[in-house]
Every structure is written in structure tokens, then in C-alpha cells.
Amino acid sequence: MLLMQPNLSTLQADFRATVLADTGADGAEPAPPAALLAAVNANGIPPERRLAIHRNHFATTLIDALGGIFEATRALLGPEFFDAFAKCYVRAHPPSTPGLFEYGEAFPDALANTPGLADHGYVIDVARLEWAMHESFHAPAAPALQPSRLTALPADQIGDALLEAHPTVRLIQATFPVHALWRGALDNAVDGDMLHGEPAHLILSRPNLDVELAPLAPAAYAFVNALFAGQSIGQAAGTGASASTTTGEFDLGETLGACLAQTVFADVVNTGNI
């Protein structure tokens, strides 16, 4: 009898297959590998039932984790749809690290790639916002760039300087007014007018313990986005000015000052000194 038993490697591979197997289209639970069923003592309860405890634990704990990260998304989709969708997602995308705070990155894309949600672009926008907020919350703490570091640069070198993003900063560009939709979903106060509002440009950062969310004008968004893509302050100012929808919308001094007052940059690199 003992010779029939799977070795540890096979036992663990069969456990993985059991936990990650898809539920059948008819809702039927998939049968675990025969070797694993034979390896588990029944002792009054069929091995299938014993193994199902772990299948359920995997799904429910990860669905709960996703529901915590994507709380507004869940409210917009309805808990029943969200949980059913998440149940398929967790089996198709098992965690690759034991840190659950890192889990769920591909979830907004999975929603976006679902044909049935093609008319629900605003939900995808909210999901992307929630993942960005989650990432910002867990991003490493770092001191914010002090304005004096920038003003200390020789005036003729500021334009060539590079600004590094603070680790907690995330930029969000959305088709829908995602800030209002997110807030509305959490307060159970979404109304149809929100779907016809202006596209959103947002910046997230975490000065200390709490994530802060602020709107940006489209030109300011283009400026910060260009900085984070590696453009110098001078080049990014040009990008910001080109993105202005009205004359004089982009003011370099004002935009830089507003960013320095928030936790947007971690460091400045004076390329004139390299």
C-alpha cells in the first residue's frame, strides 16, 4: 500500500491542481487527481470534502482580499457579480508571492478584457484608481523633495534638471469623472449624471500614512507625466504648454510650486553637474 503513495512533490502538485481547478460550467466541483484522493484518509469524511475545504479557503480569502482593495468597484458591479468574477480570477491568477498586498494588479485589466463589461468603462476607471491608491498606500516611505533643493540650483540649470517621482505617486487619466464615481460608489450615491462628466486627471501621493488624491488640469498632468517619463523640467514645460486647452492654462512656476507642496517628487538631478 505504501508503495502506491505519491511522493511529496507529486502530492503538492496534485494539491495545487485541486485548489486551482476551474469549477465546471454547470457549477460542478472538479474531481481532484485520483492519486491525491487515494493519499487522503477518509476517516468518516470523503477525501473530496476534506480537499474542498482548501479549495474554498483559497477562493474566499482571495475574493475577500480583492473586495477590500476594489471596494468601490465591487459596489458598482454589485457584490454578487464581483464575487463570481473574482472567483474565476483568483483561480486563473494565483498569487506569485505570499504578500497579499501585492495581489490583484491584473484585476482591472481582467475586467477590461471581459466582453460583457464593454459598456461599463467607468467601472474599469474606478478599478484602476483603486489599484493605484492601494499601490500608493503600500509604496515605500521616502522624504519629499524640499523646495530649497530646487531653488538652490543656478537659474540657468533649472531647465535641464530632472525630477524623480516620489515612490508613492501615481498618475490617473480616466475617460470618466472617476473621483466622483469612486466617492459616490463608496457612499452608495452614484447618479447617472456622473457618467457624463469631464474626463479626469488625478495625482495620488502619500505624504505620511494616508493616500491623498488631487485633480490636475490637463496641462499640469501632461507636465508631470512628461517629467516622470524622463523629460527635463524645460522639456516637460513645453509638453505642458502644448497640452494646454486655453491660452495661459499652464504656468510652470505655479504648477511646480503646487507639486512641491504635495509629495510628488523624491529628488532633483542637476544634469548641469554631471
Partner 1 sequence: MTLSQHPAPTGPIPAKAGIGLRAPHFEQIVEERPDIPWLEFHPENYLGGGAPYLYLERIRQDYPMSMHGVGLSLGSVGGLDKEHLARLADLADHIEPGLISEHLSFARVGADYLNDLLPLPYTEEALAQVVSNVQQAQDAFKRPILVENASAYMTFAASTMPEHVFMAEVCRQAGCKALLDVNNVYVNARNHDFDASAFIAETPADIIGEIHLAGHAVNLFDDGQEIRIDDHGSHVDAAVWTLFEQAITHAGRVPALIEWDTRIPALEVLQDEAARAEAILSAHSDAADAA
- By CB under 8 A, which span of 137-145, 182-190, 193-201, 230-238 interacts with partner 1? 137-145
Q: Which is nearer to partner 1, 1 or 25 (CB)?
A: 1
Q: Which is nearer to partner 1, 60 or 244 (CB)?
A: 60
Indicate whether 180 belongs to the interface with partner 1 (CB under 8 A): no
| 15 is a site residue for partner 1 (CB under 8 A) | yes
Using rule CB under 8 A, residue 47 touches partner 1? yes
Whether 54 and 19 have beta carbons less than 8 Å apart is answered as yes
- Residues in 96-115 at the binding interface with partner 1, rule: CB under 8 A: 96-102
Closer to partner 1 by CB, 19 or 203: give it: 19
Residue 181 Cβ vs partner 1, minimum distance, rounded to whole Å: 24
Near partner 1 in 198-217, by CB under 8 A: 206, 208-210
- Where helices occur in 70-198 by DSSP H, the ranges are 71-77, 79-92, 107-112, 121-138, 147-151, 178-186
Q: Which of 29, 30, 35, 50 binds partner 1 (CB under 8 A)?
A: 50
Among 122, 123, 168, 252, binds partner 1 (CB under 8 A): 168
Q: Does 140 bind partner 1 (CB under 8 A)?
A: yes
Q: What are the DSSP calls for 90-101, one per residue?
A: HHHS--SSS-GG
Contact (CB, 8 A) for 134 and 104: yes
92 is a contact residue toward partner 1 (CB under 8 A): no
**Residue in 166, 159, 118 with CA at minimum distance from that of residue 267:** 166
Show the cell assigned to 72: 468601490
Work out whether 5 is an interface residue with partner 1 (CB under 8 A).
yes
Taking the C-alpha atoms of 239, 242, 244 and 248 in order, what is their torsion angle to the nearest 10 degrees? 100
Contact call for residue 269 and partner 1 (CB under 8 A): no
Cell reading at 171: 498618475
Rounded-to-integer distance, Cα 131 and Cα 135, Å: 6
